[in-house]
Amino acid sequence: MANDPNKFPKTKLEQWFTKAIFNDLFPYANIGLGPHLCLPYSYESFIIAARYFPEFGSELPNKIYTAKEHSRRDVAAFFAHVLQETGKIDLSLYNNTDLSTEDAEDRTHHFYIQLFPAFRSLMEKDAFRMDDTGEPVTDFWFPCNDEEETHANETFHRGCYFGRGPLQLSWNYNYGQFQQFLLSKKVRVDLLTNPNLIITKLDPPLAMIASLWFYMTPQPPKPAMHDIVMGTWRASAKNRRAGYSGPSFGPTSLIINNECGGEDQQEPGGPGESRRIKAFKWFCKYFNVSAGAERSLSCKGMLEGFEQNQHMYSWQPDWGNMWRSQVCDCKPAPYGGPLPYYDPKIYPERFAKENERNRLRCVYSIYNNPKVFRVDENNSPCLKHKPKVKLYRNGYKEL
């Protein structure tokens, strides 16, 4: 049954988003079984997840929209992406002569969230497992579970990091970073060893929390989808000139799946960004708020990607000082890595607060796995000088 061991307090979202609304929007959740406390998708699991992100559906960052409009647009954006990722469209509704196009849209968007059965924790040997980039640093932080099982002469991996949850959290590095977030909330789970816990664990309900985590968390150079919808993201100068700044929906499609094809004019249209846009419009209509300017709904007109807004992305060894006779250290770098650096000029303060912890975790990796950086005491004398503070892999002394 969905419950929260942390018993986090209610958020402003609960003042208006009711169980009746959830059940109206998700009548066929859990592959048609409907919302249920003992399954991943229910009003209770959604509300518990929102309490882990009190900013969701609750912020008033500017006066471009009212507090009511901001909160409902935020929820509409999240649900729009859920619809594309795990919703179901019955195209036969549009061929039903007894239904108007509007009625077909209503029945289409009152969607269910697909649910992979709990037993689907094994996948074939060549299945979607992990990021095969060959990056040893990633392997150090987010090691895949290489255990295998054989059933009916077929070999299966236990460590399969395919999409799970409403927004289909995928890849070992996302599972690992989400696991680190949970640890910050004193929820201890090993998702790299047991990835299917995202679906099966309800105390707290990880499926919903994982998807909100992905929606609410920036991954430099990408801002959080939530921050784009709220209008607190920092657009590049070229994109601002092209009309992309402030509260927008379009750039979120670039973040979640690099989809910028625009909206199909016909109904129901195709998948991808078109479906996201149509769903966002529908949810905004349902919540009686504006979807915003038509141009802002697609990322098709963006002139450049988020990486052109130059800043530092991750913590890496301070290569310029590894030769010195002093303790090894890390510094922000202009390329991605497993330990994000949140530039306080670009990302919200709640993320910038994690910078020092991630720096120390980076230093930990230098001393505990120097081979991954191809360093030793001969080419990097700083390794001879041990830190005066105790370092921890996860950054938390008490856990």
Q: Which of 306, 339, 366 is the last residue of a domain?
A: 306
CB 218 within 8 A of CB 225: no
Alpha-carbon distances of 219 from 12, 340, 350, rounded to whole Å: 26, 7, 14
Rama region for 243: left / alpha / beta (φ>0; ψ in -120 to 50; rest): left
Overall size of the chain counted in residues: 399
Whether residue 315 is found in the same domain as residue 176: no
The whole-angstrom separation of Cα 268 and Cα 343 is 41
3-10 CB contacts, 8 Å cutoff, 24+ apart? 3/44, 3/48, 3/202, 3/203, 3/204, 4/48, 4/51, 4/203, 4/204, 5/187, 5/203, 5/204, 6/185, 6/186, 6/187, 6/204, 8/48, 8/51, 8/52, 8/54, 9/51, 10/51
Domain range for 251 is 12-115+221-306
Whether residue 322 is found in the same domain as residue 299: no
Residue 64 CB neighbours (<10 A) = 12
- pTM for the predicted model, two decimal places: 0.89
Domain CATH for 228: 1.10.530.10
**Within-domain flag for 374:** yes
Give 255: exposed, middle or buried? Use CB within 10 Å, 0-12, 13-18, 19+: buried
Whether residue 96 is found in the same domain as residue 228: yes
Number of domains present in the structure of the chain: 3
Whether residue 145 is found in the same domain as residue 232: no
Whether residue 24 is found in the same domain as residue 111: yes
Tens digit of pLDDT per residue, the chain (399 long)?
999 999 999 999 999 999 999 999 999 999 889 999 999 999 999 999 999 999 999 999 999 999 999 999 999 999 999 999 988 755 454 454 554 555 545 544 444 455 443 334 444 333 334 444 445 567 899 998 888 878 788 877 777 899 999 999 999 999 999 999 999 999 999 999 999 999 999 999 999 999 999 999 999 999 999 999 999 999 999 999 999 999 999 999 999 999 999 999 888 788 899 999 999 999 999 999 999 999 999 999 999 999 999 999 999 999 999 999 999 999 999 999 999 999 999 999 999 999 999 999 999 999 999 999 999 999 999 999 999 999 999 988 754
Query: Distance between alpha carbon 10 and the CA centroid of its chain, in Å?
Result: 22
Rama region for 17: left / alpha / beta (φ>0; ψ in -120 to 50; rest): beta
DSSP 8-state class, residue 135: -
Whether residue 227 is found in the same domain as residue 111: yes
Whether residue 331 is found in the same domain as residue 284: no
Helix axes of 206-216 and 67-86: crossing angle, nearest 10 degrees:
120
Whether residue 89 is found in the same domain as residue 27: yes
